[in-house]
Structure 1
Amino acid sequence: MKRTLLIVDPQNSFCDPAGTLFVEGASRDMERLTDFVEINGDAFERIVVTLDSHNRMHIAHPAWWVNKEGTPPEPFTTLTCEEVADGTWRAANPEDQAWSTEYMEACGTHVIWPPHCLMGTWGHAVYHPLDTILTRWANRHTDLVFIPKGNARYTEHFSIFQPKVKREGDPASQFDLALLNDLDSFDEIYVAGEASSHCVADSIRDMVTARPSMAKRVILLTDAMSPVAGFRDLADAFFKDMSQAGVRTASTTTDLT
């Protein structure tokens, strides 16, 4: 049995209570996952860790936008296409206005997040207890892979495979077929990470949509992922849809030894 463990965005911004976009329950998720890796690490041939990797100036951060008074939106504000069209919100940099309008026409609505997972900062790093056990695992098995995502500032990038809105000419807009093919080479793909409402959900949806045959090999560790506050309905819909697609669920108490 050839297994891999895919850990989506297990970073301080999401998983530490001091993180700027802390997901309630994420620290406990990652502690359970740490125990799971410590016990079951030898069962995995590869561990893949994705890292949300943002510039401070990013279309999903407040600094990108201003209102008619020149004030940026508060985190968790939801912008609408109509508000951008009528000038309620506009790009702070006039050079970004045309793309921002096109982006909102594609999205319809767009949530503004606190600046998070900024490259080169503490928030970008892997949550420490998990990082420690991953380092131990890598010293024994070597095949620990880190994959950044989200460093294109012009689009939201929840999924590990592709951005929310593709931008012509931007290399980050290409579907990550290499990652899909790599994961497809495994008999079982265990999945954990944050958040079940957004990055985990969009990633596994993209995987199953692009290659439905992979669904039956995916196992979601449901006690090692949590939804962003206020978005539990998205997580519930994700679990329901994936169950119908043939994706399985398990907990971190599963013994693979």
Structure 2
Amino acid sequence: MTTATELPIPDFFDPAKVLQVWRVPYQERAAQARQWAQQYRIPPAKEDQQRTILLLIDVQNTFCLPEFELFVQGAVADNQRLCRFIYTHLAHISEIIVTLDTHTASQIFHPLFWIDANGEPPPPLTIITVDDVQCGRWQPNPQLLASLGLTDQQSLQAYAQHYVAQLAAKGKFPLTIWPYHSMLGGIGHALVSAVEEACFFHTVARQQQTRIELKGSHPLTENYSVLRPEVNHDLQGHPLVPVNTALIEHLLAGDRLIIAGQAKSHCVAWTVADLLSEIQQRDAQLAQRVYLLEDCMSPVVVPGVVDFSEAANATFAEFAAAGMQRITTSSTPLNL
């Protein structure tokens, strides 16, 4: 987006560092942000007449840096554009919300959760179907019973069948065994350093704390979407993870919502789909307030294995047909 009201990019921003992990110099950046706000007469966010929220989905090292577990090709360039966007539109972004995919080793989509007849775990990117569980090709690891809060293998087996059957019935992605990623307490879980720096700079300059939303920590379900899990009830109908009603209400209360992050085909698409579902139940016109910043997101592509580009484009075409606006950082549909 190029408008007459764009701010310059601070001298400290180095696009080459977007693919590196480093410590943000908080005190120095805080002093610079205060000076920046004074120099460019940037008001506190609470004074904004139109409230614009920037939702950043899973802009974490695990997805965005080439040497990490689930690198999304295109994420480095996406984040270079994203950082520039935050700095140039600093005065018009009222609030930044970041989601963090948050995992431990013994979750249903990680290898430790499953074993074959020889007690071996599935390799990453294995797809586990209803038939796989029913015939015993893959079964849940009985050694995890205590850590999962279950008492017997029969209950765990029954839940595993319930889980993959629910995914199939709801038309969700089949259960994919992902490499261990976004591990709580690890470097991969952290925001990309350059993006963290931009968010911190915004927090101080606009005097509006970046809101952090954790997702995906329940061991018995997945959370592609930050708004609700893939499977949200156990065999007895008890909820596993509540719908994130507070975040839904907050997102829909703003005047404009801009969405970016990774991956376009998975966590971004699922979050937007859940948000659209909420919008259509309330007022379809609310979709027009949602802007999808498409040059700051990329689909999952594993060369020679899988390519979700076509599926992502089809999904985003559906979002646009529902009234959401597909934009890029070089387009000008918003008066920011």
Which residue number corresponds to residue 107 of structure 2?
58
* Paired residues for 1:67-146 under 5 Å: 67-93=116-142, 94=153, 96-108=156-168, 109-141=174-206, 142-146=208-212
Which amino acid in structure 2 is aligned with residue 218 of structure 1? V
Which residue number corresponds to residue 227 of structure 1?
299
Q: Counterparts of 2:238 and 2:124 in 1: how far apart (Å)?
A: 26
Q: Say which of 216, 238, 244 aligns to 2:321.
A: 244
Which amino acid in structure 2 is aligned with residue 155 of structure 1? T
The question of whether the paired residues in 2 share the 8 Å contact of 1:150 and 1:157 is answered with yes
Which residue number corresponds to residue 248 of structure 2?
180
Offset at residue 3 of structure 1 (A): 0.6
Secondary structure of the 2:292 match is: strand
Q: Counterparts of 1:119 and 1:91 in 2: how far apart (Å)?
A: 22
Uncovered stretches (5+) of structure 1, i.e. residues with no partner:
none
Uncovered stretches (5+) of structure 2, i.e. residues with no partner:
1-49, 143-152, 169-173, 302-306
Secondary structure of the 2:265 match is: coil
Aligned residue-pair number:
257
Offset at residue 243 of structure 1 (A): 1.0
- Deviation per residue, 1:16-35 (Å, 9 max, x gap): 11110111111111111011
Offset at residue 72 of structure 1 (A): 0.9
Q: Counterparts of 1:233 and 1:55 in 2: how far apart (Å)?
A: 31
Which residue number corresponds to residue 217 of structure 1?
289
Secondary structure of the 1:198 match is: helix
Q: Say which of 32, 49, 53 aligns to 1:4.
A: 53
More displaced 10-residue stretch of structure 1: 154-163 or 133-142: 133-142
Secondary structure of the 2:264 match is: coil
Secondary structure of the 1:74 match is: coil
Q: Counterparts of 1:11 and 1:41 in 2: how far apart (Å)?
A: 21
- Deviation per residue, 1:77-116 (Å, 9 max, x gap): 1111101100000001236322111101112331111111
- Deviation per residue, 1:224-244 (Å, 9 max, x gap): 000111222331221111011
Secondary structure of the 1:211 match is: helix
| Residue 115 to residue 205, structure 1, CA distance change in 2 (3 Å) | same
* Structure label with greater radius of gyration: 2
The question of whether the paired residues in 1 share the 8 Å contact of 2:55 and 2:97 is answered with yes
Q: Counterparts of 1:50 and 1:28 in 2: how far apart (Å)?
A: 20
Q: Counterparts of 2:200 and 2:239 in 1: how far apart (Å)?
A: 30
- Deviation per residue, 1:23-78 (Å, 9 max, x gap): 11111111110110011011011111010001111101111111111111111111
Q: Counterparts of 2:73 and 2:292 in 1: how far apart (Å)?
A: 19
Secondary structure of the 1:29 match is: helix
Give the TM-score, by structure 1 length.
Answer: 0.95
Which amino acid in structure 2 is aligned with residue 81 of structure 1? V
Secondary structure of the 1:151 match is: coil
- Deviation per residue, 1:112-167 (Å, 9 max, x gap): 11111011000000011111111111112223100000010111110010000013
Which amino acid in structure 1 is aligned with residue 211 of structure 2? V
| CA root-mean-square deviation | 1.5
- Percent of pairs with identical residues: 33
Q: Counterparts of 1:170 and 1:149 in 2: how far apart (Å)?
A: 19
The question of whether the paired residues in 2 share the 8 Å contact of 1:81 and 1:107 is answered with no
Q: Counterparts of 1:254 and 1:193 in 2: how far apart (Å)?
A: 18
Q: Counterparts of 2:319 and 2:261 in 1: how far apart (Å)?
A: 16
